[in-house]
Amino acid sequence: MEVFNIGFIGLGVMGQPIVARLVQAGHAVEVSDLSAEAVANAVAAGATAATNSSTIGAGKNLVFISVTNAAITEQIVCDPGGLLDTMDAGGIIVDLGTTPSPKCRELAQISTSKGKQFLDIPLSGSTPWAVNGTLASMIGGDRQAFDRIKPVIESFSDKINYLGESGSGQLLKLCHQLAFMSTLTGLAEAIALGERSGHSAATVLKTIGDCVSPRHVIDFMLPMAEADAFDQGGGSLAIGHKDLKAVLATAEEAGIRLPLTETVFGYFDKALTGGREKTDMFGVVQLARDEFYAD
């Protein structure tokens, strides 16, 4: 395995446990953060502290950036005396934050022009996942650069998805956020409806947790995606439409509005038109592909 001298900028709730995992895996890691306490904690875990943030790229062939602001990431990379000026030739910069895909592509092009590589590797998970090394990572950028650092990524991520060109990691992170926030909002409305009808939030979640949604939806959908056959026939779309209508009727009786449910009902209502009466519930994927694109 290639030996890396690693710099790490940003020691927040994800950065600190990732640094600890890198150190545990035997890597030399120099850290930088505005918080002296965060730096002290990283040093206690086995890292070393950079003299100042402007020198952390010196002598490094791999630097991770874990900050929340894309503008700050760009400054760290591109400003005079930044990583592109100070890192070793052929060095790899890894953005663990959330940077828009177009900006990732721009930073990758600038990095390449200066003999470096820039990878976008956003993560999914929270502090316990980082502590245990079980984060999910989504990688965009040069494949050879990714292959070089994959063993390093494996020290804190056990679900690694290489997705292609620069910005691809960020795109799939946003797809995840869309699915997560929609699921969260759906569960929030389910709790509100359940509570209004006399059931506790815990009861609602425990009961739903024993059912198909939300834990097993992807288990159903992934084989369909691999076969590119979401519409299995059988008319279950109409059943879903009927059930959503019943949810809204129940909500009206309980005196509560469910805005997401109203939107999803409208989605299913539209899906049933145009000869889709026998469509499978998962056929809404094709509706999204065909009819709901913005002009």
Strands 28-32 and 135-139: unpaired
Task: Name 285's Cβ contacts closer than 8 Å, sequence gap at least 6.
Answer: 221, 224, 230
What single-letter DSSP state applies at residue 140? B
Closest by Cα among 30, 32, 34, 13 to 22: 30
Tokens describing residue 192: 């509100």
pLDDT by residue, tens only, the chain of 295 residues: 688 999 999 999 999 999 999 999 999 999 999 999 999 999 999 999 998 777 899 999 999 999 988 999 999 999 999 999 999 999 999 999 989 999 999 999 999 999 999 999 999 998 999 999 999 999 999 999 999 999 999 999 999 999 999 999 999 999 999 899 999 999 999 999 999 999 999 999 999 999 998 888 888 889 988 998 888 877 888 888 899 999 999 999 889 999 999 999 988 888 887 777 788 888 888 778 776 554 5
Q: What is the model's pLDDT at position 292?
A: 53
Q: What is the model's pLDDT at position 286?
A: 79
Closest by Cα among 110, 96, 100 to 70: 100
Q: CA 122, 124, 126, 132 torsion: positive or negative?
A: negative
Q: CA 193, 197, 199, 200 torsion: positive or negative?
A: positive
Hey, is 207 helix, strand or coil?
A: helix
Structural domains of the chain, ranges and CATH numbers in brackets = 5-165 (3.40.50.720), 172-291 (1.10.1040.10)
> Is the pTM here over 0.95, yes or no?
no
Q: DSSP string covering 161-186, please?
A: EE--STTHHHHHHHHHHHHHHHHHHH
* Helices and strands (H, E) in the chain, number of each type: 13, 9
Q: What is the model's pLDDT at position 293?
A: 54
176: left (phi over 0), alpha (psi -120 to 50) or beta: alpha
Query: What burial class does residue 270 get, using C-beta atoms within 10 Å of its C-beta: 0-12 exposed, 13-18 middle, 19+ buried?
Result: middle
Q: What is the model's pLDDT at position 54?
A: 77
Query: What burial class does residue 215 get, using C-beta atoms within 10 Å of its C-beta: 0-12 exposed, 13-18 middle, 19+ buried?
Result: exposed
Task: Name 253's Cβ contacts closer than 8 Å, sequence gap at least 6.
Answer: none
